[in-house]
Structure 1
């Protein structure tokens, strides 16, 4: 009602919105001009804080990379020492496992007035000092200490190669040692330093935690060695076992903590207001820079800083000042390298330059904001007048189109009114309408494709399930074969063993006369020979199946090779009244073969032909060549093989006999071995039944091109 009092106040909603927009824009512009300076200052302060955090992170990454470099350097030197000790261990184990190979010059030990034996400390070739000593002396200790002098060249070479080594030595289990020092900081002669029982020393006991065959080194915690001028050191040790697994002593290497790490700590961390410390696994101090030792002990005593194994960076407050703590663990020892630096010192220069830049920028922004505010007020006035006339019609068209769209008419389009701003909006609306229509069509198509895909996947899963069932059936068959295989082995070993035991018990009971005892012993020998043959066949089959036997293939003439292998059977066959018929027709063919392995196949074929055929029957052997392979056939007039057994006769332990107690000797392994040998030659072995009686075995080998 109040709007009617103003005759010139626009009545359309669009005009009212534009008028209110103009009024609402001009009023805030004045306020924005006043508040712009404060807002700009706040934004710049936030930006400065963001940049400071980024700079802080870059410093953190930088110092973490420094820390990682130094940790890698420490770890590398540690591993060099481990390699030296393992080399010493390997050489010592070789010496004590085969002492008969070495003839070192015998060590001449002197008896000290305090009761122990020693060689005076003396310089050796190159740099270093060496001596032997023992609490008691006998021929064994003297000989083994003498053998230990063979380690002296390795002591010297490793000490020269690795400057971190103070000393290397061998400790005998009976309180003796061979000591080599890289410097003159060495023990006095023998036991004058006060050692009582060397096997009670911590690093000796640490070495015994390593079992025979283990290739690793045991490290002690850092300690001060009273026998070496109270040097702060740590020791790497390893046991020495001979080939029988007996302890023959311990080898060790001493490393000076200060010399080992001080040059590493000073390499990157040289800031006067910061310091680096190296700590052991219990957080005890190993080494420190400058004031670092006193500062760390104070921090630890007051509990200022705490960290765990996963901590890499942390901050803590010390007397109102924030300190930055960087840590990194040495992988090989579990030590921790830590670096502590005041945070304010790290970011001091960046904070000062950021504050100066902010002051200069705020002054410039204040002037710019005043001009922008005035210009914006003028532009808003002109835009409001122009849009008043141009915006009403396109908004009406757009409103009607959205109503049609909401009613489900996706074919609706809007005609362009020529206004560039609305031109893009109307085009976008038309594309949206077409896209919605297109997506609906695609949804229908995708639904159909999804249904087809589900059907395909269902079919694939069905096929996969069938394959899985086949695999399960195969595994079941293999398990059945394994049980049958174990049963056959057990039976074939138990039966002759039981028979032999019966004969032995009969002989031991003294109920047999001399003739019976001799016959029983002959039968015992037969059973033992049966067991030996079975074990040999098992071993041969295992070696062949696992490819541990490789054929020695040479070029041979077929008939010459097989004629030589078959002639040795002529006499045994004639003694039994059997006939051997040879028809060798492959005189020109040559093959690459292992004569010994092929001889085993031929012997197996002939042995089976004799065992499974009656006396005075014919055994015919023939050879032929078709240009690609040479074939050798063995035909007998024996009992033959049942048709249902043919697919299985080349399986391990398969016997045609219904019972394992058949009177015909055999283990069921011969044909399995023959098959493996033929596969190694790239050939085959087959069997077929003769028309009248007996069967024919055929072996074929590719002819050499």
Structure 2
């Protein structure tokens, strides 16, 4: 599997290169062959003209005998590798540079085609069936004082040209083989530089699938592979973080369910076996009731967050007075504030301030934030709730003067089951889900929420809402 991609690249390269070579060499071969044939025809015409004008004319005038001309055309045949014929004025073949005229002695060229006797001609083929192959044939009439004296024919075997053209094919094939060897070497070298990181990423992905997120990819490139490796490393980090949150979630939810269940079981058992007397049962039944309420709230909060993640939060938008909701929420905590002697100050922008949102969800946000403010405020301290307007937004601030949150812990406060007190002793009635719910509600409204806190001085939460026009 590891070499499949590289093998595909090499095979594809071979196929493309071979097809390209075949097409290129075939076209080149034909072009070169046609060029050589044309060039050879022109050369044969030139030689035939010279031979006719200078030597054959001399023979006809008596200055050169048949032996001399026979010797001459034999030498010229060997020099040009061209068969030479001479036909007299009657169209009869009388000389052959290769002394093979006997089979054609009784053939009269006039009976074939007058054009090959009286005119300059050139053709490619078997020359009217005289040869058992393909030849370039050039004919030149011999004229003396405008009188026809005969014709000279030069025949060149095209097979010789094809053999020369095939050399190009052979050289091309050798070049192809050398090119393939060099190219494949480069492909293997550079291919491994690509395939190896991909294989490493594949191995890492398999490890991630099995829950091992500790593998880190190292790719020192800025190309797409380097970007992919960086993305996988980021994904592994996020998956590791999610896995840690999942384990923490299970541990926290187990703890938060176990504690009230243990209390309920212990008190109910004590009542049933008579350990708790009848006159004290009401007290402990109230404790059991409070614990069941705590379990109910925890379950509701978990179901709420789960529903938001799976199907989203359905918001019922309407226009309402945010000041009225603030007053209603603070009234619910009046007794708790009195118990800790906490003074609540409302710094509201005006008597009525209309916003456009889901009133029930925003009331839940205010309830959770104010509950935290009361819970973590010192005795004899104060809480301030303030509203301001800026353009199309309304800013709601809840500021306490309690113990505050350490700076390094601020980024964790939105996590489920997170509690700022590691011992969990100061907030035994909390679920650790309140701020997670707050953030999800505000996000569902496409609004923002921020937190500012100083250890030992207090915490301020500020969120925005859309002002109603």
Could you tell me the TM-score, scaled by structure 2's length? Answer: 0.56
Q: What is aligned with 2:137?
A: 387
Q: What is aligned with 1:594?
A: 358
Structure 1 range deviating more: 541-550 or 553-562:
553-562
Shift of 1:629: 2.1
> Residue 407 and residue 538 in structure 1: after superposition, are their counterparts in 2 closer, same or farther (change >3 A)?
closer
Aligned residue for 2:311, secondary structure, equals: coil
Q: What is aligned with 2:386?
A: 622
> Residue 558 and residue 387 in structure 1: after superposition, are their counterparts in 2 closer, same or farther (change >3 A)?
same
User: Is contact 1:18–1:387 with CA below 8 Å preserved after alignment?
Assistant: no
Q: What is aligned with 1:482?
A: 246
User: Is contact 2:387–2:395 with CA below 8 Å preserved after alignment?
Assistant: yes
Partner of residue 470 from structure 1, selected from 202, 212, 234: 234
How far apart, CA to CA, are the structure 2 residues paired with 1:608 and 1:704?
28
> Residue 663 and residue 572 in structure 1: after superposition, are their counterparts in 2 closer, same or farther (change >3 A)?
closer
The alignment yields a C-alpha RMSD, in angstroms, of 4.7
Shift of 1:578: 2.1
Larger Rg: 2
Q: What is aligned with 2:150?
A: none
> Residue 384 and residue 518 in structure 1: after superposition, are their counterparts in 2 closer, same or farther (change >3 A)?
closer
How far apart, CA to CA, are the structure 1 residues paired with 2:408 and 2:339?
34
List aligned pairs for 1:437-448, cutoff 5 A.
none
Q: What is aligned with 1:677?
A: 441
Aligned residue for 2:301, secondary structure, equals: helix
1:534 paired with 2:284, answer no
User: Is contact 1:557–1:587 with CA below 8 Å preserved after alignment?
Assistant: no
1:688 paired with 2:452, answer yes
How far apart, CA to CA, are the structure 2 residues paired with 1:491 and 1:515?
32
How far apart, CA to CA, are the structure 1 residues paired with 2:442 and 2:97?
99
> Residue 453 and residue 665 in structure 1: after superposition, are their counterparts in 2 closer, same or farther (change >3 A)?
same
1:612 paired with 2:373, answer no
List aligned pairs for 1:57-136, cutoff 5 A.
none
Deviations 1:5-30 (A, max 9, x none): xx99977565399999x989xxxxxx
Q: What is aligned with 1:654?
A: 418
> Residue 18 and residue 644 in structure 1: after superposition, are their counterparts in 2 closer, same or farther (change >3 A)?
farther
1:504 paired with 2:268, answer yes
1:494 paired with 2:258, answer yes
Deviations 1:147-174 (A, max 9, x none): xxxxxxxxxxxxxxxxxxxxxxxxxxxx
Aligned residue for 2:129, secondary structure, equals: helix
Shift of 1:685: 1.9
User: Is contact 2:361–2:441 with CA below 8 Å preserved after alignment?
Assistant: yes
Deviations 1:661-705 (A, max 9, x none): 555420100110111110111112221114861111111124456
Aligned residue for 1:585, secondary structure, equals: coil
> Residue 638 and residue 664 in structure 1: after superposition, are their counterparts in 2 closer, same or farther (change >3 A)?
farther
Deviations 1:70-123 (A, max 9, x none): xxxxxxxxxxxxxxxxxxxxxxxxxxxxxxxxxxxxxxxxxxxxxxxxxxxxxx
Q: Say how many residue pairs are matched.
A: 320
User: Is contact 1:614–1:638 with CA below 8 Å preserved after alignment?
Assistant: yes
Structure 1 range deviating more: 538-547 or 679-688:
538-547
Aligned residue for 1:541, secondary structure, equals: helix
How far apart, CA to CA, are the structure 2 residues paired with 1:620 and 1:23?
129
Give 5+ residue unaligned stretches, structure 2. 1-69, 84-95, 105-124, 139-152, 198-220
> Residue 541 and residue 626 in structure 1: after superposition, are their counterparts in 2 closer, same or farther (change >3 A)?
same
